[in-house]
Amino acid sequence: MTAGIDRSSLILAAQTGDPAAIASLLAACQSDARRYAWRHCQASDVDDAVQESLLVVARKLRGLKAVAAFSSWLFTVIRRECLRLQRAMFRHEPLDEEAAERQLLARDDAALRLDLTHALESLPAHYLEVVLLRDFEELTIAEIAERLGEPPGAVKSRLHRARSLVREYLLG
């Protein structure tokens, strides 16, 4: 984030609704937002949390009463979004494994292939990427982490979430 008077002027300009100032402010605080989200979110939710938080900031910036409170407000928005995503992840009831297996086995191969294709197409790009690298290119977690420049734990988490989403799609 730019320092001092530049930052304050940018926030004030963005509060007036100036689209260029809003875009500049969001671009300036994106790296801080990502860094903060990495500490408070599941690794697989960081991108979503940052994106949703910046949308909230853009929509509600006019209501900010003190320019000096911007950073703490931004971090509060991110923390709340991380918590919302975490709650959403654990909201569903786990499927009975036998029932899920029966449901998948009841489909013919062509229908299952088509459903799997649609499930993969429905994934956000960062989830699809790890599934393709792991399950189609057959790279190890360490190789994927190196290729993406991310910690292996983040790759495992993203892969687990991606597979869960595919499973939900197939069984939903």
Map out the domains of the chain as residue ranges.
4-89, 97-171
Task: For the chain, state the CA radius of gyration.
Answer: 20
Query: CB-based contacts of 113: which residues, under 8 Å, 6+ apart?
Result: none
Taking Cα atoms as reference points, which of 28, 31, 84 lies closest to residue 61? Answer: 28
Q: Which CATH architecture has domain 97-171?
A: Orthogonal Bundle (1.10)
Tens-digit pLDDT string for the chain (172 aa):
444 448 888 999 999 989 999 999 999 999 999 998 888 887 778 888 899 999 999 999 888 888 888 988 999 899 888 888 887 766 655 556 676 667 666 767 787 788 888 888 888 888 899 999 998 889 999 999 999 999 999 999 999 988 888 887 777 6
Q: Copy the structure tokens of residue 164.
A: 């869960």
CATH class of 4-89: mainly alpha
- How many other C-beta atoms lie within 10 A of the C-beta of residue 10? 21
